[in-house]
Amino acid sequence: MDFKVIEQTLPVYWASYLVNGDGSGLEDGEDKQVAETLSRLELSDCECVDVKDDSHFHTPDPYMNWLDAGDFATYVFHKRQKLQVVAEQELHQEEINHPEKTVYDRAFIPGWDD
């Protein structure tokens, strides 16, 4: 399956939660902040597959102003392509392989002139 690799700097102590699903290192309610952060960064539907060994003190970028400065690391996420994109790619490949079939199917839409 095709996927896009996305790297994002996030608090280092979120690593166990994001990679392994172990929230024991989070404070009460912090899992909601993690979920909100991932949602705002459009990473909710992504899978966190790695954390780089680049822990450093960091002040979050202005677009993440709800996070406090502290130890951050680079997280690696995989975002799978949406089925619609994959279907469009398959249709495009079908048009290349059999142009007469796809033109015929588009030209004659059942029930169009009823």
Give the tens place of pLDDT for each residue, 45-91: 899 999 999 999 999 988 888 899 999 999 999 998 766 566 666 66
**Whether the predicted model's global pTM rises above the 0.75 cut:** no
In a domain, 89, yes or no: no
- Strand, helix or coil at 52? coil
In a domain, 52, yes or no: yes
What are 17's two structure tokens? Answer: 């939660």
Q: Which domain holds residue 23?
A: 3-80
CA distances from 8 to 14, 26, 42, 53, 78 (A): 12, 19, 11, 13, 11
Nearest to 69 by CA among 53, 57, 51, 55: 57
pLDDT reading at 102 higher than 60: no
Count of structural domains within the chain:
1
